[in-house]
Amino acid sequence: MSQPPQFPSESGAYPEASQATTILVLGIIGIVLCQLLGPVAWVMGNSELRAIDAGRRAPENRGTANAGRILGIIASVLMIIGLVFLVLIIVGSFTFTVFDSGL
């Protein structure tokens, strides 16, 4: 049987430092500048939430970590949509070139 997580009695006594702010910043940068950081924020957000649930990190940062994770998911989806459009443009350009040249 598993035991429920044991939370410290005093604040600041968690064994690991929170990465929630880093995750939020990566999520914002993933949306605004570099969508490659979206999956990084998503994965880090998932591990941060698991660490909070296990009692290794402060639960006060759950909202920040979750917001960064959600921004990472959105940035990842936007990156995938962009890649699909890029592939469609390349395939369409190649198809147009082949039919236009009379091959």
42 neighbors 79 (Cβ within 8 angstroms): no
Q: State how far the Cα of 53 lies from the Cα of 24, in Å rounded to an integer.
A: 18
Q: Calculate Rg over the CA atoms of the chain.
A: 21
**Tens of each residue's pLDDT in the chain, 103 residues:** 566 666 555 555 788 899 999 999 999 999 999 999 999 999 999 999 999 999 999 999 999 999 999 999 999 999 999 999 999 999 888 887 767 665 5
DSSP-based three-state secondary structure for 24: helix
